Structure 1
Amino acid sequence: MFQVDLKCADCGIAITELPFQPTGDKPVYCRACLQAKRA
């Protein structure tokens, strides 16, 4: 896990841990927003 200090691109909630290293060229979503986008 990677320790990060980001905010969800949709709801703005703090994201502190990701299973991947973000590259910065794509938005990062929290688990709830990502599931809603996939549905």
Structure 2
Amino acid sequence: MSQQFELLQLGWIRETVLIRSWLQSGRRLSLVFVQHCTGPL
């Protein structure tokens, strides 16, 4: 029971880290996209 819970916790931490890094890369991409769109204007 506790081993399963530890595995669940580890998976949740991994998911959180993945989502956080994905959000950071997405924010960077959107910033580049906005600069690219508003640059020539």
TM over 0.5: no
Higher strand share: 1
- Whose RCO is larger (CA < 8 A, sep 6+)? 1
Query: TM-score interval w.r.t. the shorter chain?
Result: under 0.3
TM-score by length of 1: 0.26
TM-score by length of 2: 0.25
The structure with more radius of gyration: 2
